[in-house]
Amino acid sequence: MHHQWLLLAACFWVIFMFMVASKFITLTFKDPDGYGAKQEPLILTAVTKVEDVHVPEEKHWPEEFQPTGKAFSGNLIHQPLVHMERLELLRNVCRDTALRDLSHAAVSKFVLDRIFVCDKHKILFCQTPKVGNTQWKKVLIVLNGAFSSIEEIPENIVHDHEKNGLPRLSSFSDSEIKKRLNLYFKFFIVRDPFERLISAFKDKFVHNPRFEPWYRHEIAPGIIRKYRKNRTETKGLQFEDFVRYLGDPNHRWLDVQFGDHIIHWVTYVELCAPCEITYSVIGHHETLEDDAPYILKAAGIDHLVSYPTIPPGITVYNRTKVERYFSGISKRDIRRLYARFEGDFKLFGYPEPDFLLN
For residue 10, name the pLDDT band (cuts at 50, 70, 90).
low
Q: How far apart are the C-alpha atoms of 51 and 153, rounded to whole Å?
A: 44
> Are the beta carbons of 267 and 343 closer than 8 angstroms?
yes
Note the pLDDT tens digit of each residue in 128-183.
Answer: 999 999 999 999 999 999 888 999 999 889 988 888 889 999 999 999 999 999 99
Per-residue pLDDT at 46 exceeds 60: no
Q: Is the pTM of this model over 0.95?
A: no
- Give the lowest-confidence range in 18-22, 101-105, 130-134, 340-344: 18-22
H or E, element range at 356: helix 354-357
Neighbours of 24 (CB within 10 A): 10
| Exposed e or buried b per residue across 252-283, where buried means at least 16 C-beta atoms within 10 angstroms of its C-beta | eebbeebeeebbbbbbbbbbbbbbebebbbbb
For the packed helices 331-347 and 193-201, what is the interaxial angle rounded to 10 degrees? 120
The amino acid at residue 253 is W
Strand partners, 124: 117, 186
User: What are the angstrom distances between the C-alpha of 239 and each of 197, 214, 230, 244, 319?
Assistant: 10, 17, 14, 9, 17
The amino acid at residue 150 is I
Q: How far apart are the C-alpha atoms of 131 and 285, rounded to whole Å?
A: 6
Per-residue pLDDT at 9 exceeds 60: no
Per-residue pLDDT at 59 exceeds 60: no
Q: How far apart are the C-alpha atoms of 133 and 127, rounded to whole Å?
A: 6
Q: What is the largest distance, in Å, between two alpha-carbon atoms of the chain?
A: 124
Q: How far apart are the C-alpha atoms of 8 and 1, rounded to whole Å?
A: 11
Residues 6+ apart with CB under 8 A from 41: none
What are the DSSP E strand ranges found in the chain?
115-118, 123-126, 185-190, 281-284
